[in-house]
Structure formats: C-alpha cells, structure tokens
C-alpha cells in the first residue's frame, strides 16, 4: 500500500499531478484546490496517498493530498453514504474554504451552514452529520473558524429539544425548524415553533 509519494513534479493540471519517483511516473488525482498550492514543474513535491481499486476489475487509482490533515478528512468523507472516492474529493473541495467551520457545522448538526456556506444539498448535509459527527469530534483541524454561527432564539433551541423528546432526530428537528419562514423562526415561543415544525415533519 502506498502511503505517500515524494519526487519531482513532472506535470500538473487542475485535479491531477504527475510525479516522478526514481524514474517511475505516478498519475495522481488531487483536489482542485491543490493546483495553486503545488510547486512549479520540476520541483520536489510530497503527496499523501489514498488508494482506490476500481469496481469490476478496474485499475488502481491514486488520490494525493498535500497534508495528512487533508487525507484524514478525505478518508472520513468517503464514509458518507453514497460518497465513494471521487465524490469525496468533490466534497473536500467544497469544505476547503474553511475546514474548521465545516467541523463546527457537523458537530452542531447545523444543516443550514452546510447548505448555505458549503453548497451541499440538504439531504447530503443530513447524511454527513449522521456519518461524521462522532468521527470529527476527535479530529483536530488547522486554522480558525471564519464564520461565527448565527445565534438562535432560546425558543428555537428548546423547540429542538422538545422535538427530540418526541422521537425525532436532532438533524430532522433542526432542518424542520430552519425550513420555517423567517417570521416564524423569529418566534420565541417554544410551543408555536414545535407546532409549526410538526407540520413540516408530518
């Protein structure tokens, strides 16, 4: 198993790099965001590698990352249901604008941030929260959060807790409340928010 490659960069293009290691060239798929961070052609480069074997007898594909942190996050993203190697790479590109904010959104179960800030669909965001919440809790990511989470009224948090007690998952409850019209979300009455959310969930 290849864990990393260190050699001369022979060619690079968005999403791909060709690395010469002691006379053998390795084609490596990379995040699109890695292109500007790769060195100039002819310089040394080190890529941390994740291998993927194609289905139905397909060949081996190498995915390369400029840091171990990127590789670790990519490995976790592959565990999101329906992701796979290539889609996980797309996911990584989306969250590259702020890995700390992505981690915070997952830990908080914040579907709204995952959709509005990172461009995931609501369905994908919910799947990510379920798949990654426990795993990301123990993973440190570099950098600082750029976007502070918008504070929610007390009634909003209490409404989530009430819906969870009724048997709904936290992600379902939060998503239902965030789908309410802005004037309804501003309502600080827990009872009213729960009633409106139940209409969304029914």
Distances (CA, A) of 182 to 15, 185, 188: 40, 5, 12
Q: Give, for all 202 residues of the chain, the pLDDT tens digit.
A: 899 999 999 999 999 999 999 999 999 999 999 999 999 999 999 999 999 987 655 689 999 999 999 999 999 999 999 998 999 999 999 998 888 899 989 988 888 889 888 999 999 999 999 999 888 888 878 777 666 555 555 677 788 888 888 888 877 787 788 777 766 666 668 888 888 888 878 7
Q: In terms of Cα–Cα distance, which of 108, 106, 73, 107 is closest to 91?
A: 73
How many residues appear in the chain? 202
Q: In terms of Cα–Cα distance, which of 141, 137, 102 is closest to 120?
A: 102
Whether this prediction's pTM lies above 0.75 is answered by no
Map out the domains of the chain with their CATH numbers.
Answer: 4-66 (2.40.50.140), 69-137 (1.10.150.20), 154-201 (1.10.8)
């Amino acid at each position: 198993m290849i864990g990393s490659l260190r050699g001369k960069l022979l060619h690079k293009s968005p999403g791909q790099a060709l690395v010469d290691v002691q006379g053998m060239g390795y084609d490596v798929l990379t995040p699109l965001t890695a292109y500007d961070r790769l060195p100039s052609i002819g310089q040394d480069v080190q890529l941390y590698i994740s291998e993927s074997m194609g289905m139905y007898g397909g060949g081996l594909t190498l995915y390369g990352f400029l840091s171990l942190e990127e590789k670790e996050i990519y490995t976790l993203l592959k565990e999101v249901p329906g992701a796979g190697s290539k889609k996980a790479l797309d996911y990584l590109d989306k969250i590259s604008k702020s890995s700390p904010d992505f981690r915070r959104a997952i830990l908080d179960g914040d579907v709204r941030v995952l959709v509005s800030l990172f461009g995931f669909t609501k369905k994908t965001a919910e799947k990510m929260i379920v798949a990654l919440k426990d795993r990301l809790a123990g993973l440190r990511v570099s950098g600082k959060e750029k976007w502070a989470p918008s504070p929610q009224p007390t009634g909003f948090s209490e409404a989530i807790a009430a819906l969870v007690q009724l048997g709904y998952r936290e992600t379902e409850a939060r998503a239902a409340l965030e789908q309410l019209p802005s004037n309804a979300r501003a309502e600080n009455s827990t009872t009213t928010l729960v009633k409106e959310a139940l209409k969304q969930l029914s």
